[in-house]
Amino acid sequence: MDACRKYGITRFHQVSTDEVYGDLPLDRPDLFFTEGTPIHTSSPYSSSKAGADLLVLAYYRTYGLPVTISRCSNNYGPYHFPEKLIPLMIANALNDKPLPVYGKGENVRDWLYVEDHCKAIDLIIHKGRAGEVYNIGGHNEMRNIDIVKLICKELGKPESLITFVTDRKGHDLRYAIDPAKIHAELGWLPETKFADGIKKTIKWYLDNREWWETIISGEYKNYYEKMYGNR
């Protein structure tokens, strides 16, 4: 941001996360994150993102740096790194390996197709108001276990591959975003329904096995063993 001030950039955009808001209870489907929801982080990762957001807003207030921030829900789609839920389940299912699911798989996430996210960021950069935060949500709340079962169905694999493992520490229960602000100000809405997006995603991983198989065979193998090997 200092470099941006020095060279007079016209917009600094911070891609943040809905995780800065903490989580929502599973028994309150009426609650959603808005831009006014207080920051209440649960993990070191989300705390680092919240800290970055605060720095960005401070540069806007103190120096007038033209900034915007977007906080998005979980992304999915092509080129999603194989450690994440959806590509991990696709890769393991294709290889008839166990499908490790944290806890009981009841954690809820709001899934956003990556191309919809990119379009939202592009709109914010070009038309968003400086100094503003915009939430980007997919209107696609799904339990983790339901996503895994759907992937099994699409690939013709048995649900017996599902293996429940020890839950993550501080695992947030539910994320859900209200994207009313970006819709009202910039006209953005997610275009991809989850039922369509997950099929496109599975097809991409089927058509691009070399990309993710190369990753899994290398450093990721050590990561996988560290995270799931003793569970």
53 is catalytic: no
Question: Could you tell me the two tokens for 42?
Answer: 């649960």
Instruction: Clarify whether 63 is annotated catalytic.
Output: no
Choice among 7, 19, 96, 141 that is catalytic: 19
List, in sequence order, the alpha helices (H) in the chain: 2-7, 44-63, 85-94, 114-127, 144-155, 180-186, 194-207, 209-217, 219-228
Strand partners, 74: 111
CA atoms within 13 A on the CB side of 88: 18
Q: How far apart are CA 26 and CA 175, in angstroms?
A: 9
d(CA 113, CA 201): 9
Q: Which two tokens stand for residue 124?
A: 């914010």
Q: Which of 2, 18, 30, 132 is catalytic?
A: 18
19 is catalytic: yes
Rounded Cα distance, 203 and 116, in Å: 18
Catalytic residue among 7, 23, 35, 45: 45
What residues act catalytically?
18-19, 45
